[in-house]
Amino acid sequence: MLQVNFLRENKERVLEGLNKRNFSQLHLVEDAISADDERKKIQFDLDENLAQMNKISREIGLLMKEGKREEAEAAKAKTADYKADSQELQGKLKESESKLQNILYLLPNIPYHKVKAGVSADDNEIVYQSHDVEGLGEGNIPHWELAKKYNLIDFELGVKIAGAGFPVYFGKGARLQRALVQYFLDKNVDAGYLEVNPPHVVNEASGYGTGQLPDKEGQMYHIGIDDLYLIPTAEVPVTNLYRDVILDEKQLPVKNTAFSQCYRREAGSYGAHVRGLNRLHQFEKVEIVRIEKPENSYDALEEMVEHVKEILTDLELPFRILRLCGGDMGFTSAMTYDFEVWSAAQEKWLEVSSVSNFETFQANRLKCRYKGNEGKSQLVHTLNGSAMALPRIMAALLENNQTPEGIKIPKKIAEYARLEMIN
């Protein structure tokens, strides 16, 4: 969430950033400033009212000591009026604070200066590509057919149990999935990330803290009876570990990694592009989360990008890295890199990781600060990335490693899976 003082002091920059995103509701900037002016006026009136009450209360004490009971009683009647006014003003203040916050919730983050303007994924910048790519070779088949051929994943059985988008993994498919999770976690831990095993449900405050709420797209699963949400990513519970926390400067950077199941309604996703493992309601993912001093966060972002790049290199998959344009970035991000692997069967790139710097946007919602040597506290920068999301990684591994003898497992993963070939 943007701070209203930031909007006041950097209005031109804010409007320029929102234009980069093709954000149409530019009036919300002025609306937020006006709502804050209203809040300040009510706060001033309330403070003045309370000051008068305190002044009269002191006068009543003196009048009583001097035996001026009638004058003291008249003063008490005045305080009753001030008290009623104060209660009314407190109610108005609460309403004005809520109004301001609701406006601020609607404003997305401001893109970093390196982010280019753009409308859609077509405007993203390719900053790295590992291989030249080609289509599906003769006799090769897509991952959903490979999964059936080798009894790795059953999509129809998942439909019977839960519905479309909930596949069931069997045998070597389940084993390969588990090996990938363990490899990703170990790789992250070796890079200095502390492993965390968080809850897979969160409360409303946690959803607001990382920007998943308000859920404008209706993508989160809500457990109505308990007012809890199934997590769309481990970023949500892990980052919320630091909600309402003031860290010591010596604790930074914070580096966490977590494995979790992820749940997304994927409302409005239909058609051939969702076939197989392309888009699921439940999937496994390993996440990395960092909390940094503001001056270090973009170096940390580049370090995270190199880390994910190394993982994909180990997987021996054709991949590319894109820096997203303003129009394709997530609501909370200031800058995002996407990693995509090549799907030989579908002849298209599939996103498998997204690494982002949110600057103070989440920290302001979370009230997560750090205190330096001078004793002053300030907001941290938060970052997160997928390292990695499993479904499309699995799809690419199956499609890109099929041979006449079976599916050859990349060396690094074969060591974890104790499985060199699926046949």
| Residues flagged as binding site for L-serine | 233, 264, 287, 384
Contact call for residues 328 and 354 (beta carbons, < 8 A): no
Pairing of strands 222-223, 194-196: unpaired
Structure tokens at 291: 């909390």
Is residue 324 a contact partner of residue 338, using CB atoms and an 8 Å limit?
Answer: yes
Question: CB under 8 Å, gap of 24 or more: what pairs does 23-30 form?
Answer: 23/108, 25/106, 28/103, 28/106, 28/107, 29/107
Q: Taking a C-beta distance cutoff of 8 angstroms, is the pair 259, 188 a contact?
A: no
Can you read off the two tokens belonging to residue 254?
Answer: 């914070």
Q: Which of 243, 251, 238, 169 is nearest to 209 (CA)?
A: 243
Residue environment code for 277-308, b if the CB has 16+ CB neighbours within 10 A, otherwise e: bbbbbbbbbbbbbbbbbeeebbebbebbbebb
Tokens 């990938």 correspond to 180
Q: Are 247 and 291 in contact (CB under 8 A)?
A: yes
Known binding-site residue numbers for ATP: 264-266, 351-354
Within a 13 Å sphere around the CA of 149, how many CA atoms are in the beta-carbon half?
16
Q: Which residues are within 8 A (CB) of 243 and not within 5 positions of it... i.e. 6 or more apart?
A: 205, 206, 209, 366, 367, 368
Extract the tokens encoding 101: 């916050």
Q: How far is CA 71 from the centre of its chain?
A: 61
